[in-house]
Chain A
């Protein structure tokens, strides 16, 4: 298998370049991450993030032949013989496939990603019906890999002002939670030409999400609630 990898070490390289590797895969190497580990055995200067190797920690998001995805759950069998790997687009590159995710997490933090409930907590759990809990499905499963936000042209242009699909999906996760009391405060915060309304329903986020989540739908729900409260 031939893999071209984006390489850049600010200590040594004036500019980034693609380096070609010929990788001999063993029968047990089933995922793209296995191939990256093979490359690392030939060349320990290649830097990339990885941890859980099963698609739940969200650290090995990269751009694979032009599409964002997680290396650890991308099957090599599904890839062509020549693969080009680049860092996630739109974020500053620290080194090789490692991007600086500061801006991404800043936007996540900006939506107050925690349940706000100022009532004194009861002795036991707060009650929530299965139907109410169901509302959180498709939202809380986000792994913060940034595949969605870094595939979004609106986030590329305004990463400092537009919350981006990942942050907005989480904004709706807390709006949808019956235990949260801060809905109107959350809507006020998002009612802004940039924070929410830079979403132009391009839907790259939906295609990119390795967990099958749908940020565009969540953004639509937020807009719907906003309209309802205005009339």
Chain B
């Protein structure tokens, strides 16, 4: 029998998203556990440089409608517009809140948060005039943000399980609902069950699937891989204590799942859109491909779901040619 630990909520991953979520949960007096395979301030958020977008209009006219337009366009119209509207409407509040938490943003002469122009940030729905929307702390905005969020979690007494690697989700045998995860304590090699009324995955990307990448070594798509786990890879190292070869094998499993999902989905998508650039299908094809790809490991199958083109309160941004 594996040891069981019970919480109100589990957060897997201690980057910017995971720690903002855990902070909210801890402040609501819920018993929250954050599982993270590296010490929280080592998460890849730390490497973000340029800035965080919010239309504070501290240096030039700006508003959330323009921010929303740029975000929809930046997704090459594949982004869900309801989610994008929500993000852009809340961006100012969220950045101001980070400032109140102590994030050391650079400042303007008038004492407000410094904002700079950034690729794709425009005024007036894609006009040639650049917006000043990126709120920055020198060239280490992500570092400043991640440390601030960790600090606030320390203050809120969030319970961190540092160097614990989540392995698999556990589902209710009756209704299939996720009721927790199994996780490996790296220092001892022991596996425990973590139960939570809610489980949130904030495990970041899988950039390490590419041979060339500026991503951290840890960006192995663990949350993506957990959804579809393969057989364990054989490894030579049998040690229990901090067996990094075992961790790397687990990461490789996750990375392979992520890579397979990416390759299969990309091959099937007969168009070029956003970062997907195909020599054989150089044009974007909205008639056939304005939809999300959903890959499942079982049978290596693809399914699709429509893009939410309808925002929450405003008119849709209809797809048009994406030029800068």
Q: Which residues of A pack against B, CB within 8 Å?
A: 9-12, 40, 44-54, 56-59, 94-96, 98, 101, 105, 109, 112-115, 117, 121, 123-130, 132-133, 136, 140-141, 143-144, 174, 177, 179-180
Nearest-neighbor residue (CB-CB) of A45 within chain B: B237
Q: Is B152 an interface residue (CB 8 A)?
A: yes
Give bound CA distance, A112 to B100, whole Å.
16
Chain B residues numbered 222-269 whose CB sits less than 8 Å from any CB in chain A: 235-237, 239-245, 248
Binds A, one of B2-10, B35-43, B61-69, B316-324: B35-43
Question: Which one, B47, B102, B239, contacts A115 given CB within 8 A?
Answer: B102
Given A51-B218, A114-B154, A127-B110, A10:B241 Cβ within 8 A:
yes
A-B contact pairs, 11 of them (CB 8 A): A44-B248, A46-B244, A47-B243, A54-B214, A56-B46, A56-B47, A94-B241, A95-B239, A125-B99, A130-B109, A140-B144
Across the interface, do B42 and A121 meet the contact criterion of CB distance under 8 Å? no
Give bound CA distance, A54 to B48, whole Å.
12
Across the interface, do A94 and B187 meet the contact criterion of CB distance under 8 Å? yes
Across the interface, do B143 and A56 meet the contact criterion of CB distance under 8 Å? yes
Nearest-neighbor residue (CB-CB) of A109 within chain B: B154
Question: Which one, A12, A54, A59, A112, contacts B39 given CB within 8 A?
Answer: A59
- The binding surface of chain B is classed by DSSP as loop
Question: Which one, A46, A50, A58, A133, contacts B217 given CB within 8 A?
Answer: A50
In this complex, how many residues of chain B approach chain A with their Cβ under 8 Å: the count is: 50
Q: Is B178 an interface residue (CB 8 A)?
A: no
**CB neighbours of B218 from chain A (8 A):** 51
Give bound CA distance, A178 to B151, whole Å.
17
Give bound CA distance, A179 to B107, whole Å.
13
Q: Is B294 an interface residue (CB 8 A)?
A: no
Across the interface, do A11 and B112 meet the contact criterion of CB distance under 8 Å? no
**CB neighbours of B96 from chain A (8 A):** 123-125
Give bound CA distance, A141 to B65, whole Å.
34
**CB neighbours of A121 from chain B (8 A):** 97, 100
Q: How far is the CB of A154 from chain B (nearest CB, A)?
A: 24
Given A57-B41, A101-B39, A127:B244 Cβ within 8 A:
no
Across the interface, do B245 and A44 meet the contact criterion of CB distance under 8 Å? yes
Across the interface, do B187 and A59 meet the contact criterion of CB distance under 8 Å? no
Give bound CA distance, A58 to B146, whole Å.
13
**Residue of A40, A51, A101 most packed against chain B (CB within 10 A):** A51
Give bound CA distance, A215 to B235, whole Å.
43
- The binding surface of chain A is classed by DSSP as loop
A-B pairs, 3 with minimum CB distance: A115-B102, A127-B111, A114-B151
Q: How far is the CB of A21 from chain B (nearest CB, A)?
A: 16
Give bound CA distance, A46 to B111, whole Å.
50
Q: How far is the CB of A92 from chain B (nearest CB, A)?
A: 11
Instruction: Known pairs A44-B237, A105-B39; list 14 more (Cβ under 8 Å).
Output: A9-B239, A40-B244, A45-B236, A45-B237, A52-B42, A52-B44, A56-B140, A112-B155, A114-B101, A125-B99, A133-B105, A140-B147, A141-B143, A143-B46
**Residue of A44, A50, A54 most packed against chain B (CB within 10 A):** A44
**CB neighbours of B112 from chain A (8 A):** 124-125, 127
Nearest-neighbor residue (CB-CB) of B248 within chain A: A44
Across the interface, do B236 and A44 meet the contact criterion of CB distance under 8 Å? yes
Across the interface, do B154 and A58 meet the contact criterion of CB distance under 8 Å? no
Across the interface, do B239 and A45 meet the contact criterion of CB distance under 8 Å? yes
Across the interface, do A51 and B38 meet the contact criterion of CB distance under 8 Å? yes
Give 1 or 0 for each of B202-222: 1 = CB within 8 Å of chain A CB.
000000000000101110000
Across the interface, do A52 and B216 meet the contact criterion of CB distance under 8 Å? yes
Q: Is B286 an interface residue (CB 8 A)?
A: no
Question: Which one, B100, B216, B242, contacts A94 given CB within 8 A?
Answer: B242
Across the interface, do A59 and B38 meet the contact criterion of CB distance under 8 Å? yes
Give bound CA distance, A122 to B187, whole Å.
44
Give bound CA distance, A138 to B152, whole Å.
21
Q: Is B283 an interface residue (CB 8 A)?
A: no
Given A51-B42, A56-B140, A56-B143, A177:B99 Cβ within 8 A:
no
**CB neighbours of A52 from chain B (8 A):** 42, 44, 46-47, 216-217
Give bound CA distance, A94 to B163, whole Å.
13
Give bound CA distance, A57 to B112, whole Å.
28
